[in-house]
Chains A and B, each alone.
Chain A
Amino acid sequence: MPKISIEDLKKIKEREKQRMVLREGQHRAKITVHMGTCGIAAGAREIMTLFRDQIAERDLSDVILTNSGCAGLCAKEPMITVEIVNQPPVKYISLNRAKAMRIFEEHVLAGKAVEEFALARGSETMAT
């Protein structure tokens, strides 16, 4: 009797791929929590934890959660940037748990930006 079959091989592959998706650079959505000193002071960690728990609970493999430094608008922290593949990134400001939850459900999962919390679409212009 064979110990594993080709189907098992595929199952292992799928299971592990989810865990390794971070290293592949393939994802549908990316949430960046801005965690400069200002962001952390305003409660960014709580937002980060919320997203983390949500992703784990729903067992999502195509959402990347990362953090970056201060976005420059310290007065409006906590801030996050949500990026859906092939769509311009959207920055959200002055978040709390409830707002973050709605953004997660409507934008990250359903793909529609929550306009009332959004600051702007797109990225900053870079000097070339």
Chain B
Amino acid sequence: MCASPYYRMQFMLCAGTGCIASGSLDLKSALERELTKRNLQDEVQIIMTGCNGFCAQGPIMVAYPDGVLYSRVKPEHAPLIVEEHVLKGRVVEKLLFKEEAAKDRVPLMKDIGFFGLQRLIVLRNRGLIDAENIDEYIARDGYAALAKAVTQMTPEEVIEEVKKSGLRGRGGGGFPTGLKWEECRRYASFPKYTICNGDEGDPGAFMDRSVMEGDPHSVLEGMAISGYAIGAEQGYIYVRAEYPLAIKRLQKAIEDARDYGLLGKDILGSGFNFDVGIAPGAGAFVCGESTALMYSIEGKRGMPRIKPPRSAEAGLWNQPTNLNNVETFANLNPLILNGGDWFASIGTEGSKGTKVFALTGAINNVGLVEVPMGTTLKTLIFDIGGGIPKKRKFKAAQMGGPSGGCIPNGMEDVQIDFESLIDVGAMMGSGGVVIMDEATCMVDTARFFTEFCVDESCGKCTPCREGLKVMFEKLTDIVEGRGQEGDVEFLIELGHHINNTSHCGLGKSAANPVLSTIRYFRNEYDDHIREKHCTALVCPNLIDFVVIEEKCKMCGMCYRNCPSDAIIWEKKKVARIDQEKCTKCRTCILNCRFRAIR
């Protein structure tokens, strides 16, 4: 036997937050035990990777060299995998991912619609490298872009390349990154700073988390390149304190990069100095706003300030500061290595490259996807996302988080790029996509997002602090049955006021969920107010809790599940609901497959 074992097989286990939660660490120990038992520990190597994006099917395991993808692998499957896959070379059929539509099990990653239709730039290393191993990052061209920038290019050339690429900020605003850098470079005041915004706070968004956890070096490399371009020697990563794994892996990545001299003094002998520190977030949504974020790093209360001066001129500690989002930084390694023209060849006229989306809500393949700009929403939901579960109909997609808007059924052919989304009243945002089916009440959804904004308003501007509260109370009235004629008009007027008179990005867009649901689902608001009925059967006060006799199939599912014995049912008889006992908990509605309760 040789000293360093030759592994003929590698098991890539996902160690993203999703898969860890579904038990990938236990699976790792179970596999190790089983391999050792059969004396195969020198033949098969187990590697923990960052998030694969296929979180709904976790824990995910990909077996190389074949590239077979196993989903929902439990520790008790370990003996089976070792026996069948490792010893006998047979694919373990029952653990293969089954595509909802096709109904046949597809083993190879490239054959799965979810993976096959994606184009990976930001997530290029996902599932392929050990997130905590700098050498594996280097093996996939890691830090080669930084080396190219600091030894072969001037800062101006780097900026020119980024401008040529058409890369726009991925945090939501979509400001051209090259222009931002150019402006920051112009100010001759030192020190300068470059900051990575990892304060991902939108409900349903986990793109940046996955990048920081799964490929932390790609963020560091992007930051170092930006530091070189603008003339900064210090960078900060502002990470949500709620992302402990991201902080841990970034910390390790920073230490490893320092050991190699890829951060620190005289990087790669070029004379360029750059180091990065981590600033854990203070827990407020508004700290994702650039000026509030900088105050937060300084140790002050996170509140947005009036611009100008722009951060490029006077940002952190009043010095010139560049701030980009995690995903923007992660684009830079391939962009510099392959050139701006290459990057600009992907995407649409005004939006270049790819975008990472977190798909959540009523969709089969909940997870993380990266698609070229210009991909239609339809492809995203149905081909990649696998469609809507339980044979329900697609109703709307909420894009851009609490600042965004919804895109209704019938408009799913819209292209996903910065301009097209604005045209339909939504926005790119940071990339959270919440899919809603027919069992979602749009008024209730608007109320949820408004409640979020009420909680997160910093309180500085009156329209946002007070206006949102009034808006929330009005929406509560509507969903609880106290809605009156004229409420919708009032909401529209108030919404425009809030958006027009608040000063930071949060307030300026806080009314968007309400305005866009009114725009596309006005009839639902009217039903709530005039008919006192919630068609989606979500708002308990606006449901009659009566069985529709023609639709009832007499199956008794409502009767079996009712926690308060309020259903009167016998075999072959239509169910009835005892209004005296009914607590309006909606359990019967959730269990009725025929939507026979109204």
Contacts and interface: CB of A to CB of B under 8 A. Distances in A.
Interface of A: 1-6, 8-9, 12-13, 15-17, 19-20, 22-23, 25, 27, 30, 32-37, 40, 48, 52-53, 55-57, 64-69
Nearest to B147: A6
A1 B262 CA distance: 12
Interface of B: 1-2, 4-10, 12, 43, 64-67, 86-90, 128-129, 135-136, 138-141, 143-144, 147, 151, 259-262, 264, 266-269
A3 B260 contact: yes
Most chain B beta carbons < 10 A, residue from A19, A27, A34, A65: A19
B90 A5 contact: no
Contact of B262 (A4, A16, A33): A4
Contact of A6 (B1, B8, B264, B268): B268
Cβ-closest 3 pairs across A and B: A3-B261, A16-B139, A67-B89
B66 A66 contact: yes
B268 A5 contact: yes
B136 A20 contact: yes
Given A4-B262, A9-B144, A22-B65, A67 B88 contact: yes
Given A6-B147, A17-B139, A53-B1, A69 B90 contact: yes
Contacts of A36: 88-90
A23 B10 contact: yes
B267 A16 contact: no
Contact of A22 (B64, B135, B138, B143): B64
25 contacts: A1-B266, A2-B268, A3-B259, A3-B261, A3-B264, A4-B262, A6-B147, A6-B269, A12-B139, A13-B138, A13-B139, A16-B136, A20-B128, A20-B136, A20-B139, A22-B8, A34-B89, A35-B89, A55-B8, A56-B2, A56-B5, A56-B6, A64-B65, A66-B89, A68-B90
Contact of B141 (A13, A33, A57): A13
A2 B269 contact: yes
A42 B141 CA distance: 44
Contacts of A27: 65
B263 to A, nearest CB: 10
A68 B88 CA distance: 6
A12 B257 CA distance: 13
Nearest to B144: A9
A122 B135 CA distance: 39
Contacts of A57: 2
A89 to B, nearest CB: 15
B9 A22 contact: yes
Contact of A5 (B5, B259, B269): B269
A112 B367 CA distance: 47
- Of B4, B139, B140, B268, the most chain A CB neighbours within 10 A belong to B139
B139 A66 contact: no
A38 to B, nearest CB: 10
A114 B4 CA distance: 30
Given A2-B261, A13-B138, A55 B144 contact: no
Nearest to B110: A25
